[in-house]
Structure 1
């Protein structure tokens, strides 16, 4: 039977995880109320009745906290769009594109502060890590979009191939990962993946920032029509 001493590290770890989660929750609340620039470790410590020095045992700097928040938010978004895509059979590339796009919108509407943290104005004074605040999630998102295009490429190639596209148009890291995973895919397909992202992301950003509301009473319908038009432009049947 385990002794009380044996159980102490587990209890400390749980308490630390709870406190870390509370710090992140309050940071997002402050962001929602006052914008991302309002995120402050000292302000969070005051709200939690912690000493200023105690909170720094959880996050060394405000930048560390912001990077952690971005990583959490980005991972949650990627998991949502991947799950939606994977719920559609692989032999329906058009349906998988629509599922990814609709999951992006649904997640963004449910998590507006997370969306703004990822895609809004940069946080004043924030310096991300050299590799970026969420390299794993960003890589999954990018390669996921390329995978959608790869599945559609046999149909899309005729209308979408750009003979001027070069691998040097993209970062070395992205180009290397795509060529490893999809060795037969040309650079024009990567350009198409980025355009695909733009057509999905643009209407969502307009809606989240309040630019569609006065003009459109049913932005959900507009968004689905945009996705279906996107799918048809790739030579795929609509869903």
Structure 2
């Protein structure tokens, strides 16, 4: 469809608002996001910008959804580009892509997993967007695990993970679900501590730590 001039101007304004918002987040985190400051930077009145976003949290919800979608797209792309490699190598490449994305834009990463205004919750669109990243991880772990079954008795955690997967419309064995969530927590933990400068203070290479964690994941998946 051909947009009217008014519609084109509105889309351009929305894009400019979001670009200013991203710059604000990059400079001071999600807590520093201010519609009034964006309005001043764009030469708009305070009330005028609220015709585009009713509140700061509405704008933040879009930024979160966009960032989740960008992170997911990054992981999906590298997984597709390495489709002919061994699953263990693909897992390493995907994990490194996750880490690189976070290191390149630490404030946006913090916006997703740490620095949130009080009472802000992920929008449903954002949850759906990041779920694709977990599907990439679960797919690789399923390849690693192969047809190996899970003979252990189901635990309360297995039940919770299965319910979570069912709500998201995904299918995986309890073993793969456990591996998926535990792998993500390890990856997120290393990245978060690296961003906080903890490993620098300890004289540790975060890349080597990540390699060691992934080696344990591969061992657990293929056991």
Same fold (TM over 0.5): yes
Aligned equivalent of 2:217, options 230, 233, 237: 230
Q: What does the per-residue CA deviation read over 1:111-134, in whole Å, with 9 as the maximum and x for residues that have no partner? A: 1111000111332242544xx350
Which position in structure 2 is the counterpart of 1:182?
Answer: none
Which position in structure 1 is the counterpart of 2:118?
Answer: 124
Aligned equivalent of 1:105, options 75, 85, 99: 99
Which position in structure 1 is the counterpart of 2:11?
Answer: 17
Equivalent residue runs for 1:1-239 within 5 Å: 9=4, 11-89=5-83, 92-129=86-123, 132=124, 134-154=126-146, 157=148, 162-165=152-155, 168-170=159-161, 172=163, 174-175=165-166, 177-179=169-171, 185-216=172-203, 218-235=205-222
- C-alpha separation in 1, matches of 2:130 and 2:54: 24
Are the aligned partners of 2:30 and 2:60 in contact in 1 as well (CA < 8 Å)? no
Which range moves more in the overlay, 64-73 or 120-129? 120-129
- C-alpha separation in 2, matches of 1:194 and 1:47: 41
What are structure 2's unaligned runs of at least 5 residues?
A: none
- C-alpha separation in 2, matches of 1:39 and 1:89: 39
Whichever of the two has the greater Rg, that structure is 1
Change (3 A) 1:79 1:48: same
- C-alpha separation in 2, matches of 1:147 and 1:216: 34
Are the aligned partners of 1:161 and 1:189 in contact in 2 as well (CA < 8 Å)? no
- C-alpha separation in 2, matches of 1:119 and 1:153: 28
- C-alpha separation in 2, matches of 1:46 and 1:98: 44
Query: What's the TM-score, normalizing by structure 1?
Result: 0.80
Are the aligned partners of 2:69 and 2:129 in contact in 1 as well (CA < 8 Å)? yes
Which position in structure 2 is the counterpart of 1:3?
Answer: none
Are the aligned partners of 1:98 and 1:228 in contact in 2 as well (CA < 8 Å)? no
Change (3 A) 1:65 1:138: same
**Alignment length (residue pairs):** 221
Query: What's the TM-score, normalizing by structure 2?
Result: 0.85
Change (3 A) 1:40 1:117: same
Following TM superposition, by how much is the alpha carbon of 1:77 offset from its aligned partner in structure 2, in angstroms? 0.5
Q: What does the per-residue CA deviation read over 1:124-172, in whole Å, with 9 as the maximum and x for residues that have no partner? A: 242544xx350321221222222122112227x47x7642246531374
